[in-house]
Amino acid sequence: MEKIKVTINGKIVSAEKGDTILNAAMRNGIEIPNMCYDKSVKVYGACGLCVVEAEGMPKLLRACSAIAIDGMVISTDTPRVREARKIALELIMSDHDGDCKGPCSLHCPAGTDVQGYLKAIANGDDREAVRIIKEKIPLPASIGRVCPHPCEKNCRRKYVEEPLSIAYLKAFAADNDLASENPYVPERKPDSGKVVSIIGGGPAGLSAAYYLSLCGHNVTVYDAMPEMGGMLRYGIPEYRLPASVLAREVDMISCAGVEMKNNVKIGRDITFDEIRENSDAVLVAIGAWKSSGIGCAGENLDGVIGGIDFLRRVNCGEKVDIGKNVAVVGGGNTAMDACRTAIRCGAENVYVIYRRTRAEAPAEDIEITEAIEEGVEFKFLTNPDEIVGENGKVTAVRLQIMELGEPDASGRRSPIPVEGKFETIEIDTLISAIGQKCDPIGFDGLPLSSRRTITADEKNCATALEGVFAAGDATNRGASIAIDAIAEGNTAAKAINAYLIGLPIDFHKPYYSEKKIVPEMFSGKEKRPRAIMPVKDPVVRRGNFDQVINGFSEEIARREAGRCLECGCHDYKECKLIRYANLAPIDPHRFDGSEHESYKEQKLGVIERDQGKCILCNLCVRVCSEEVGAGLLGLVGRGFTTVIRPEFRDSSKTEICKSCGRCVELCPTGALRIL
């Protein structure tokens, strides 16, 4: 065969005369995006992704059909090519009705493969479940106990009866793995020689440390507290997250190669500059350890304490004298932790003061329910007007009675004072649990926001200081839930690793296709009620800090995991379409308009077709006709209404499908799957 020379992306390569540009590139290990090409069938040229620019030619060429010419100079990634490819992808995606990932995964801040680990749990493979979880979360037993699980709120099982108990299943699998003889620790890459210092051993810092160590970097975590864990260790009570569980998971992070140094305070034991000088990169993840003030008269009286300060002191083993009557101000999970901890510290009367109603409270409803069961009295639609004291010590709190007005910027109805209506309750201690703030003392040079949080790029956690990154509660908008901190730790690790090996860190948000859902789609599903987590009796649990939950049995956990509807695409990890769609940012919504009908059918017997995912690449039609010789599929309709459908009258024709499956192999989008 006669050989020719062509230049592709500045590289002179050899090809055979008569080769298409795409074949010439493929022979030399150069990828040109394509969706409708396979060497087993004739060229079709439908998708428009394989366009390239050839020197001296005014128009872009389709590499799958354009013949390579000796001496041709080709570029596969010019501005014109990128724009044409972007438009092609946006047009395809604007008519693509399929789920890349289930809504559980999409609404998990860390992006865990929820569907994947639930399937592993259902199959009895907890180690595989933990392997999947730890791709994104290095503390699954801890997070499974305390996460407010936005994944569950978006679980489509709610359209059948109730969402899955995703968080507790995560903890179940992780507990089993930790109790095994050989808990899962992934293999670490070879030593890179790079040194990374992480300041702060909370969920953000530990997560970043774990993933950076697995990349082969030498990671040291510095923390001011006696033990690692940050707010997971010192801000969450033992009855929700036993310290022994967290400590075991921290040990696993240490086993992944992370060095940990406790009782190290920046500015006292070592300076920020010293750490920077001895590191190739630094991550600041110091959390938000300062309680927000109430903002009313008397808040400086003895007996007024911040919620985080109170929880930290209790978790450190201090005996905190709070008296018999305690009021907690706030409606979030920290307020619930504080009021339930106060009960366990011996308070006889504990009140929660919240300016809105229970419906607007940001705390998990189960936390409010369990607090009420333990004897906490909730005073909704009240707000501290004045903290009253004698001889410098709090004795009472005067409450302004509130009512709900118009919705505020967040959509919640704004509480407004009812003129002249007040209530006074006698108290010994008032705990303020209305927010937390960062305290960046000792970090001179780090840019701060007006709220005194550290300013960092939200896409890659980079700060204005070279080689310094920041993540978690200390940054930008301030304190949030632990899974948000873990997600930022992951982002920081990815960015720091890229920085250390010289790659760009200008990440863009991934694009995912999401199926359009209406509740009627689930009307035929069998109803299988959600598993209820067994808990200790309120009378028993209020007297100690033992873990409240009793845990799922093996049988219940496997059955609960089996309720998963498996919403995400079965072919997501191999899908060419989503891989190409994420090479650069795209916006398919600018081409919103008429769409093909979306449905699933099984006329091929052992093969299910999802018309909503079909992009009309015609590979299935062509391979069935040209290679297999069966011709079971065909194009039906004309113009935009064209769809691919099975075309045969005798169902016995599909017997060949049982041993073939070539159409499924070639489908680039997961529109076909073997049942």
Query: Is residue 215, in this structure, part of any structural domain at all?
Result: yes
Question: What's the rounded Cα separation, in Å, for the pair 660 and 337?
Answer: 58
Confidence bin at 389 (pLDDT 50/70/90): very high
Q: What is the CATH number of the domain that holds 653?
A: 3.30.70.20
- Closest by CA position to 668, among listed 103, 114, 42, 98: 98
Say which residue the tokens 């290679």 belong to. 627
Confidence bin at 410 (pLDDT 50/70/90): confident
- Closest by CA position to 467, among listed 285, 287, 286, 279: 279
Do 431 and 313 fall into the same domain?
A: yes
Mean pLDDT score of the chain: 95
Query: Is residue 232, in this structure, part of any structural domain at all?
Result: yes
**Alpha helices (H) in 235-279, listed in sequence order:** 243-255, 272-277
Give the residue from 380, 411, 436 where a domain finishes. Answer: 436
Give the residue from 43, 59, 77 where a domain finishes. Answer: 77
Bridge partners (DSSP) of residue 475 are 454
Percentage with pLDDT > 70 across the chain: 100
Q: What is the CATH number of the domain that holds 9?
A: 3.10.20.740
Question: What's the rounded Cα separation, in Å, for the pair 283 and 493?
Answer: 9
Quote the tokens at residue 16: 């055979």
Q: Residue 72 above 90 pLDDT? A: yes
pLDDT in tens, 233-249: 999 999 999 999 999 99
Structural domain count of the chain: 5
The reported pLDDT for the residue numbered 187 is 96
Percentage with pLDDT > 90 across the chain: 91
Question: What's the rounded Cα separation, in Å, for the pair 49 and 64?
Answer: 10
Question: What's the rounded Cα separation, in Å, for the pair 617 and 46?
Answer: 6
Do 495 and 414 fall into the same domain?
A: no
The predicted model gives 389-403 an average pLDDT of: 97
Q: Residue 412 above 80 pLDDT? A: no
Query: Is residue 582, in this structure, part of any structural domain at all?
Result: no
Query: Is residue 441, in this structure, part of any structural domain at all?
Result: no
Question: What's the rounded Cα separation, in Å, for the pair 450 and 413?
Answer: 26
Comparing 274-283, 340-349, 465-474, 590-599, which segment has the lowest mean pLDDT? 590-599
Query: Is residue 88, in this structure, part of any structural domain at all?
Result: no
Do 345 and 406 fall into the same domain?
A: yes
Do 524 and 651 fall into the same domain?
A: no
Q: Residue 52 above 80 pLDDT? A: yes
Do 533 and 473 fall into the same domain?
A: no
Query: Is residue 200, in this structure, part of any structural domain at all?
Result: yes
Q: For residue 657, how many C-alpha atoms fall within 13 Å in the half-sphere facing its CB?
A: 23
Q: What is the pTM of this model?
A: 0.92
Do 352 and 427 fall into the same domain?
A: yes
Confidence bin at 652 (pLDDT 50/70/90): confident
Do 459 and 362 fall into the same domain?
A: no
Question: What's the rounded Cα separation, in Å, for the pair 402 and 368?
Answer: 20
Q: Residue 146 above 90 pLDDT? A: yes
Question: What's the rounded Cα separation, in Å, for the pair 354 and 310?
Answer: 18
Do 487 and 515 fall into the same domain?
A: no
The reported pLDDT for the residue numbered 210 is 98
Do 226 and 296 fall into the same domain?
A: no
Residue 495 sits in which domain range? 195-289+446-500
Q: What is the CATH number of the domain that holds 253?
A: 3.50.50.60
pLDDT in tens, 514-571: 998 999 999 989 999 999 999 999 999 999 999 999 999 999 999 999 999 999 999 9
Question: What's the rounded Cα separation, in Å, for the pair 31 and 487?
Answer: 32
Do 303 and 432 fall into the same domain?
A: yes
Query: Is residue 589, in this structure, part of any structural domain at all?
Result: no
Do 610 and 650 fall into the same domain?
A: yes
Do 328 and 372 fall into the same domain?
A: yes
pLDDT in tens, 197-219: 999 999 999 999 999 999 999 99
Q: Residue 1 above 80 pLDDT? A: no
